[in-house]
Structure 1
Amino acid sequence: MADNLSKKMISCTVDFDRPGRQVGQFHVPFSGNDDAWGVVPVPIAVIANGKGPTVILEGGNHGDEYEGPIALGELIRDIDIEQVSGRLIVIPAINQPAVQAAQRNSPIDGLNLNRVFPGNALGTTTEQIAAFVHDVLFPLGDVFLDLHSGGSSLDILPSAVIEPGNTPQKHQDNMRAAMAFGAPVTVVIDNRGDPRTATASAARYGMTSVGTEMAGKGTVSIDALALCRHGIRNVLASVGAITRPVAASATPTRLCKLSPLAHVLAEDDGFLEPLHPLGTEVEAGQACARIHFLTQPQRRPVDLHYRASGIVYGRRQPGRVRPGNCVVVVASAYEGEPA
């Protein structure tokens, strides 16, 4: 029923079965204060040629993450259609309201698109966008590539992300596709077991599912954008969607995971002093940051400590912290065999 509702309520200006290059929109109904019968227009492109897999590529899931949308826009404009074997469905700014506002969550309903899958065809704007992707697009797809960055609140090592597969075979498929991206670090991340992310939802659907984290800090990283441009085409080539060899990385990827002890959380309201740059080798129990109390100079800072050993994978970007903020993330060595 949700599938039929999404198709009925959300119109699309592209034909998913037509060969060639099409650029259009899907229209999410939105009756706001200033428009009784308006829509949220979400850009979408279909690039199809011959036989091969269908790959769904998504950027802008969070609106303050820019490398993915930039690289996908370039892909839509520049890819040689004769290189394509199959079909690319490209959504460079999936969370259009959040992208326009340059913020993580949608300004319309305050929701995080990456925490509402599989969505709700009768829900809010964000839930309807997720439902359209899940109910209409996922049935067409074989591979899902979801391009993230750290956003405004996180500085993170540019990396490919392995979504845990539902079966050993699908996990191997996800690992192979993520490692083909060619990032210096490849990390197994399950978002603390949260099933509401886009990649987790795609994996449940049986698709090969890959994510990324491209730097962050709410800016565009020159190096991360270059990595993203090449990585997208590497993944497409690795799954047979384009005819070009996978470019070898200058250095082999480092395979890691986020363990249940990866995240260090603040327990005080204050100002953060990180102690190590990204990529530093650290040990569990070692001091990782201090929280200072700038308006209470008599109060000594509070030390925080790593809970896992590995490398510093991500750090909080704003200096101000409050209880519950994630301030540091450690990626530990992955014990399994590479794909």
Structure 2
Amino acid sequence: MGAKAKQIGQCTVDFEKNGKQIGFFNLPLSVHDDAWGVVRVPLAQIKNGEGPTVILEGGNHGDEYEGPIALGEMIRDLDPGLVSGRLIFIPAINLPAVVAARRTSPIDDLNMNRTFPGDPRGTTTQQISAFVNDVLFPIGDAFLDLHSGGSSLDIIPSSVIEPVDDPVQHAKNIAAVTAFDAPMIVVIDNRGDPRTATASAARAGLTVVGTEMAGGGTVSLDAVRICRRGVSNVLAHLGALPASLASPQENEPLLYEIPGDGHVIAGDDGVFEPFHRNGETVRAGQPAGRIHFLADPGRAPVELHYAVDGIVYARRQPGRVRPGNCCLVVASPYRSSLS
């Protein structure tokens, strides 16, 4: 194999410097109206004393807001003297998508969370993910990746376990995810896709915490509160913040997983009517909803059914669907335990 491509871009934050820094990772972007422009990805660091290096990411998808809000507040408000170690914040990592309020980048139409480990010589999105994978992960001990359902899904606020094979790393992930103290803990493998940020962080040996904080293209008051508490809780658990900054536990850890057949998928073009709200218990074979054909009123709706037992974990937010759209997601009790 040939030598690894050199990282493109310029970082204005010195990762070895103590104190608080707020800067950018600048990626070259040459477009029609700006020959020598850059994409200015926000980057911040708070470093003080000895302790772990924790990477905190928001805005991997540009229409998911609770994480970026919580991280921006922490960048502005956190006293560096309270930190033990190094906190690296990338609160709007997929900046083009964040500015456009889109899941995918308007520059190359890529979903950043399906581009890892990235490519330093690829498109803008691939270069951003390569920076995270090649520059940040090697200096990190833990990674928090804050997501929500975005514009297309409304999800029960939850912390997410990234599946790993190593039992020691698995135990660390479970402990950190449990410390987040969300109403639910869900094991999600993204249909086995290895190209996500959390999967890449896990391969790099980091302790990994994911989240899904509501969604629907809005800012959830409850989810923002959960996210604020959860980030501080995890940092205290990791020893990067004092234990006194952790909040008292509010939730019993309820452990679920998304089984392979837990997604209810549209097979027709129309408008989906769900039959259940998030959190309701459902059974395999039970009607899940139906697709209506508004332009053809003589055609009867098509009914969709659940394939597994569990609870409704996520529901599609836009009513309009086409074949292949995910309409509902069922979470089932995890087959193992938290140990």
Same fold (TM over 0.5): yes
Equivalent residue for 2:334? Answer: 334
Cα distance per residue 1:5-56 (max 9 Å; x no partner): 11xx211111000010000001011111111111100000010011010000
Whether the aligned pair in 2 keeps the contact of 1:156 and 1:214 (CA below 8 Å) is yes
Matched, 1:102 2:105: no
Amino acid of the structure 1 residue aligned with 2:330: V
Unaligned runs of 5+ in 2: none
- Residue 251 of structure 1: CA displacement? 2.7
- Give percent identity, aligned residues only: 63
Amino acid of the structure 2 residue aligned with 1:239: L
Equivalent residue for 1:296? Answer: 296
- Residue 3 of structure 1: CA displacement? 6.1
Amino acid of the structure 2 residue aligned with 1:338: L
- Residue 166 of structure 1: CA displacement? 3.3
Whether the aligned pair in 2 keeps the contact of 1:170 and 1:208 (CA below 8 Å) is yes
Query: What's the secondary structure of 1:93's corresponding residue?
Result: coil
Equivalent residue for 1:90? Answer: 89
- Residue 4 of structure 1: CA displacement? 6.0
Q: Map residues 263-282 of structure 1 onto 2, 5 A cutoff.
A: 263-282=263-282
Whether the aligned pair in 2 keeps the contact of 1:2 and 1:121 (CA below 8 Å) is no
Aligned counterparts of 1:160 and 1:2: Cα–Cα separation in 2: 38
Whether the aligned pair in 1 keeps the contact of 2:25 and 2:40 (CA below 8 Å) is yes
Runs of at least 4 residues of structure 1 off by over 4 A?
Answer: 1-4
Equivalent residue for 1:323? Answer: 323
Cα distance per residue 1:226-246 (max 9 Å; x no partner): 000000001111111111243
Aligned counterparts of 1:334 and 1:267: Cα–Cα separation in 2: 28
Aligned counterparts of 1:100 and 1:43: Cα–Cα separation in 2: 12
Cα distance per residue 1:43-76 (max 9 Å; x no partner): 0001001101000000000000000001000010
Equivalent residue for 1:214? Answer: 213
Equivalent residue for 1:117? Answer: 116
Amino acid of the structure 2 residue aligned with 1:5: K
Whether the aligned pair in 1 keeps the contact of 2:5 and 2:120 (CA below 8 Å) is no
Cα distance per residue 1:219-262 (max 9 Å; x no partner): 00000000000000011111111112432332312110011111
Whether the aligned pair in 2 keeps the contact of 1:290 and 1:301 (CA below 8 Å) is yes
Cα distance per residue 1:86-114 (max 9 Å; x no partner): 00000100000000000110000000000
Aligned counterparts of 1:148 and 1:74: Cα–Cα separation in 2: 16
- Residue 269 of structure 1: CA displacement? 0.6
Amino acid of the structure 1 residue aligned with 2:105: S
Equivalent residue for 1:47? Answer: 46
Equivalent residue for 2:6? Answer: 5
Matched, 1:196 2:195: yes
Aligned counterparts of 1:263 and 1:99: Cα–Cα separation in 2: 27
Pairs aligned (count): 337
Whether the aligned pair in 2 keeps the contact of 1:52 and 1:85 (CA below 8 Å) is yes
Deviates more, 1:307-316 or 1:238-247: 238-247
Matched, 1:16 2:9: no
Deviates more, 1:249-258 or 1:129-138: 249-258
Whether the aligned pair in 2 keeps the contact of 1:120 and 1:130 (CA below 8 Å) is yes
Aligned counterparts of 1:166 and 1:337: Cα–Cα separation in 2: 15
TM-score by length of 2: 0.97
